[in-house]
Amino acid sequence: MVPILDLHSVLERVRRDVERNALRARNGIRLATGARPGIGCTPKDVVWRRGRTELWHYCNDDVRVTPPLLIVFSLISRSYILDLSPGNSFVERLLRSGFDVWLLDWGVPDERDAQNRLEDYVDAYLPAGITRILELTGRDEVNLLGYCFGGDLALLHAAHHPGSPLRSLTVMATPVDFRYLGPLADVFGVGGLDVADVLDADGNVPPQVVLQGFRTLKPTSQVTRYVDLWERLWNDEYVAAYQAMTAWSDDHVPFPGAAAEETVRMLVRDNGFVTDRLTVGGDRVHLADVRCPFLTVLAKRDHIVPEAAAAPVIELVGAPDKHELRLDAGHIGLVVGKTAARTTLPTIIDFLQRRSEVSA
Amino acid sequence: MAPSPPLWRRLYDTAERAVAPRLETLVRTKHFARGTALATQAQATARAQVAALSARAWHLVNLPTGTDVARLRVQIGALDREVRRLALRLEQEQAHTGERPEGKESDGTDTRPP
């Protein structure tokens, strides 16, 4: 009996390998020809635009939660990670839960943005976006949510404008203690590199520098991702997710030169959030002035914004109603994938709903 | 029960587990940060010298260089930023005083919904 069973299992294995190799060949051709799954597909309208900055309003015929929710994204990557693919989209989930979702997208900076400072985003674009939302909705408050460096912009805004009409502030994977940010910050902090040394001819930090900085965080990840891909190239679902994720992780945007210089000086070298040495538009700014209801979400396995870099924010803000959520996820896993669907999103939705009016 | 990964994968994982933590520790050292900063500064200096040499050559025949054009574009960009900031401030003022802002870009794009 034993030899027959072995023969069966060998045949089964050969059959599986042949099938998988055929699928590998098909998916390999798809990858090589650049056929990509749809990303950022949720319907939206551009309702306001200044320079490269756009305010997007996601279409939702079933708004049950007020006030509106404004998402602020990072300055160095593309916002479509929040709306990656149908069924795996942070925005889609918020819409399904009845939120009225708006997103401030910074676009792709060019030489016209090289002189943009943090105050441009914190004191000008963000308030203008909020004003436009209030005008269009007739509401008098918004819930503000910042992701990654977008969280820093949201924090600076809330601290510099305590009267800003914010019902609540949520930050996700947002660094405040830049000593723990890793090689990307160390090269400017400990290493003493000047931003001027990495500026492109257009006056901005080129996306390749940012990309290289992120790749340095996990030096073997580039090889591992191709090894993973080869192993699972037969799996359509994996290949679609791989394409969407790698398209995003390799797709950075230039960091406006003046804002980068200010970030290095104030946030990296002075570690301004922690040492309370923040200046925006010539004014001293204190996180203790953030008084609106506050939620911080951080990921325990985040290699881009390590837990230690994000954790102190809860102590620094002055809000009496403040909460922290630590999840067993990575940086991207907070908004994409199973952990996001199972834990992050329900918790954020619950937090926001408790601070909103929800109609049946 | 999921089938065990193929031999080549197990070999890779073993090697990766041995190498990755060491590399990740290395890139988080002060020496690495200083070394990267020095290498980047050296690259920037070399690039600047090559650009200066090439600029001298173009200027000899009274032609502008790419760097000249880039510098001009950045200067125009700075003006563009000032205009944008003023437009935003005006928009905010109008919103506070109850006047309807125009909602048009300098290129004429109307961003207002119908």
- The pLDDT tens digits for A192-227 are 999 999 999 899 999 999 999 889 988 998 899 999
Q: Return the higher-pLDDT residue of A121 and A355.
A: A121
- The pLDDT value given to residue A328: 87
Please report which confidence band the pLDDT of residue B2 belongs to, taking 50, 70 and 90 as the band edges.
low
Which of B26, B85, B112 to probe the A interface (max A CBs under 10 A)? Answer: B85
- The pLDDT value given to residue A12: 86
Section A52-76 average pLDDT: 96
Of the candidates B19, B28, B80, the beta carbon closest to that of A112 is on: B80
Q: What percent of chain A has pLDDT over 90?
A: 69
A111:B73 CB<8 A: yes
- The pLDDT value given to residue A329: 87
Residue A315 has pLDDT above 50, yes or no: yes
- The pLDDT tens digits for B73-111 are 989 999 999 999 999 989 888 887 876 555 554 444 545
- The pLDDT tens digits for B41-60 are 999 999 999 989 999 999 99
The Cα–Cα gap between A172 and A294 comes to: 11
Which of B81, B86, B102 to probe the A interface (max A CBs under 10 A)? Answer: B81
Please report which confidence band the pLDDT of residue A39 belongs to, taking 50, 70 and 90 as the band edges.
confident
- The pLDDT value given to residue A34: 72
- The pLDDT value given to residue A4: 56
Supply B5's token pair. 């990964």
Please report which confidence band the pLDDT of residue A35 belongs to, taking 50, 70 and 90 as the band edges.
low
Q: Return the higher-pLDDT residue of B108 and A264.
A: A264
Q: Return the higher-pLDDT residue of A263 and A239.
A: A263
Please report which confidence band the pLDDT of residue B1 belongs to, taking 50, 70 and 90 as the band edges.
low
Please report which confidence band the pLDDT of residue A106 belongs to, taking 50, 70 and 90 as the band edges.
very high
The Cα–Cα gap between A71 and A150 comes to: 8
A50:B84 CB<8 A: yes
> Taking CA atoms, what residue in B is nearest to A184?
B33
Q: What is the 3-state secondary structure (H, E, C) of chain A?
A: CHHHHHHHHHHHHHHHHHHHHHHHHHHHHHHHCCCCCCCCCCCEEEEEEECCEEEEEECCCCCCEECCEEEECCCCECHHHHHCECCECHHHHHHHCCCCEEEEECCCCCHHHCCCCHHHHHHHHHHHHHHHHHHHHCCCCEEEEEECHHHHHHHHHHHHCCCCCEEEEEEECCCCCHHHCCHHHHCCCCCCCCHHHHCCCCCCECHHHHHHHHHHHCCCHHHHHHHHHHHHCCCHHHHHHHHHHHHHHCCECCECHHHHHHHHHHHHHCCHHHHCCEEECCEEECHHHCCCCEEEEEECCCCCCCHHHHCCHHHHCCCCCEEEEEECCCCHHHCCCHHHHHHHHHHHHHHHHHCCEECC
| Listed range (A113-122, A183-192, B29-38, B97-106) with the worst mean pLDDT | B97-106
Residue A271 has pLDDT above 90, yes or no: yes
Place of tokens 């940012």: A210
Q: What is the mean pLDDT of chain A?
A: 92
* pTM (predicted TM-score): 0.88
Section A169-189 average pLDDT: 94
- The pLDDT value given to residue B110: 47
The Cα–Cα gap between A328 and A314 comes to: 18
Which of A45, A186, A214, A261 to probe the B interface (max B CBs under 10 A)? Answer: A186
User: Using CA atoms in the order A273, A332, A44, B110, what is the torsion angle rounded to 10 degrees?
Assistant: 40
- The pLDDT value given to residue A61: 94
Section A54-69 average pLDDT: 96
Residue A349 has pLDDT above 50, yes or no: yes
Residue A36 has pLDDT above 80, yes or no: no
Cβ contacts from A onto B, under 8 A = 123
Is A1 in CB contact (< 8 Å) with chain B?
no
Write down the ipTM of this complex.
0.78
Taking CA atoms, B41 is separated from A204, B29, B36, B37, in Å, by: 16, 19, 8, 6
Residue A53 has pLDDT above 90, yes or no: yes
- The pLDDT value given to residue A226: 92
Residue B114 has pLDDT above 50, yes or no: no
